[in-house]
Amino acid sequence: MPELKIDTKTIEGWLAEVMDPEVPVLSVMDLGIVREIRQENGNLEIIITPTYSGCPAMDVITAQIRLAVAGRGFKDVKVTQSLQPAWTTDWMSEAGKQKLKDYGIAPPLPKQTVCHPDLFQMEEAIQCPHCGSWHTKRLSEFGSTACKALYQCQDCQEPFDYFKCH
């Protein structure tokens, strides 16, 4: 029997259907957490990296990735977690950032500015995803999930989540 070998792009296409359960507009491909796809002797291994250490979505994501590739003819499917190099929002796709914005979450800034421990740093300028104003204020650097901070727009007054750069 010929060994099954599927184009990596095709597998990535399947994974683009696997959504983050906490931010359902982003797929695991948009998030940039799929680090490697390996095929050997008809077995498939997908290596993913967590966004935050305690992210409770990782177990669900692992299960959903298995489901997405199940029944595609692989003998065995393995989803492995790798910690190094550590995930960064730089790996999020541009399409993913646009989807976040459309969903009402401000996407991470392209340049990482807050990941050092200096106290009382200048707040980052974050654009309101609702009205587009830059006149916004941070309410809390911790939000509804580990990856988000809570902001409020000073013009339209709407509170919003900011997917903080990491």
Q: Applying CB under 8 A, which residues contact other proteins? A: 50, 52-56, 82-87, 115-121, 139-144, 146, 150, 166
Task: Give the C-alpha distances (Å, rounded to integers) separating 160 from 38, 129, 140.
Answer: 38, 8, 11
**Could you tell me if 88 and 31 are in contact, meaning their C-beta atoms sit under 8 angstroms apart?**
no
* Shortest Å, Cβ 119 to other proteins: 5
Nearer to other proteins, 101 or 166 (CB): 166
Min separation Cβ 166 and other proteins, Å? 6
CB of 66 to other proteins, least distance (A): 18
Give min distance, CB of 140 to other proteins, in A: 4
Contact 19, 33 (CB under 8 A): no
- Residue closer to other proteins (CB basis): 8 or 113: 113
Give the Cα separation of 116 and 101 in Å (integer): 25
Nearer residue to other proteins within complex by CB, 3 or 59: 59
| Burial (0-12, 13-18, 19+ Cβ within 10 Å), 86 | exposed
By C-beta, is 64 or 89 nearer to other proteins?
89
Kindly list the distances between the CA atom of residue 48 and the CA atoms of 19, 58, 61, 82, in Å, as whole numbers in the listed order.
Answer: 14, 9, 10, 6
